[in-house]
Amino acid sequence: MGKVAVAATVVCAAAVTAAAVVVVRHRMKNSGKWAKAMEILKEFEDKCGTPVSKLRQVADAMTVEMHAGLASDGGSKLKMLISYVDNLPTGDETGIFYALDLGGTNFRVLRVKLGGVENVKKEFQEVSIPPNLMIGKSEDLFDFIAGELAKFVATEDEDMQIPPGTQRELGFTFSFPVKQSSIAGGTLVRWTKGFNIEDAVGADVVEELTKAMERAGLDMRVSALVNDTVGTLAGGRYGNSDVIAAVILGTGTNAAYVERANAIPKWQGLLPKSGEMVSSFIYLFIYFRAGRFGSYYIFNGLNG
């Protein structure tokens, strides 16, 4: 079918659809159903509208839970997690870096050359994870990931090669519930999103990936383990120094923001020189319901 014929077909289809809408609307108006439909929509709109006073109550409740979560683990409905990231990018960073984003049935590998905010070059590839590896053994999953990462590294051109004798650095975004122990270490709490690899639970995911990269003959070091919100925050800060928070709206909803280090009582280490620490709400679930029986606001850190 030629381009003209295709265009004509699309126009005709659109015209038929528009005509059908007009006919249906006319019939509904004549039958009295139109007024009833508009009445239902107006009622729905009114009952879904949350008063400003209620929104302020929500904000105050969140603030209380945030402070409680920063004070101690398990002391709040929110999972306030410390990221161990105490310095965010300034936009002046330069060099060639790798990233691995594992957060679902696909994972992405990225190669980026930083040369200032106006001079960033990126190359990436997305890989689907075979279903059998999502419920098999930890070693099999990480070997597959490391193998695909090695293939991607092999595609470096002259402009994206690191200096001789320099080890490649990798940022690892792992979007599953993890109890982080350092900037480059954390144990898996549990799987979500269709994964169920029992021998990986309780294991350090960075160690598992590092061993797999060694088996694949890949000379690369995981320099940072972050969740998706921290990665988004760092990326935003690279281009804009005013960025202080990031939010992910997906399978779950989570956020990361810059907090004063001395406002985190549960932090046991030395205060960082920057005086700041990135904290995360991991999979914060906010549920609003407004109806004839009143309004309900539920806050729950689902962590997965």
Residue 189: Cβ-neighbour burial (10 angstroms; 0-12, 13-18, 19+): middle
Catalytic machinery residues:
175, 190, 228
Q: What is the chain's percent helix, strand, coil content, to nearest 5?
A: 40, 30, 30
* Vertex 236 angle, CA 233 and 237, to 5°: 85
CATH number of 81-284: 3.30.420.40
Model pLDDT, residue 186: 93
Domain residues of the chain, as ranges?
81-284
Alpha-carbon distances, residue 23 vs 27, 83, 143, 203, 296 (angstroms) = 6, 57, 59, 62, 41
Question: Which one is predicted more confidently, 9 or 264?
Answer: 264
Model pLDDT, residue 263: 86
Model pLDDT, residue 5: 44
Model pLDDT, residue 41: 81
Of 18-22, 102-106, 176-180, the least confident = 18-22
Question: Which one is predicted more confidently, 299 or 223?
Answer: 223
Model pLDDT, residue 31: 63
pLDDT digits (tens, 9 = 90+) for 254-292: 888 888 888 888 888 777 888 888 887 654 443 333 333
Of the pLDDT bands very low, low, confident and very high (cuts 50, 70, 90), residue 252 is low
Query: What string of H, E and C letters represents the secondary structure of 126-177?
Result: EEECCHHHHCCCHHHHHHHHHHHHHHHHCCCCHHHCCCCCCCEEEEEEECCC
Distance, in Å, from the CA atom of 138 to the CA atom of 289, rounded to the nearest integer, reads 41
For residue 303, the one-letter residue type is: N
Of the pLDDT bands very low, low, confident and very high (cuts 50, 70, 90), residue 30 is low
pLDDT digits (tens, 9 = 90+) for 86-108: 888 888 888 999 999 998 889 99
pLDDT of residue 133 exceeding 90: yes
Model pLDDT, residue 150: 96
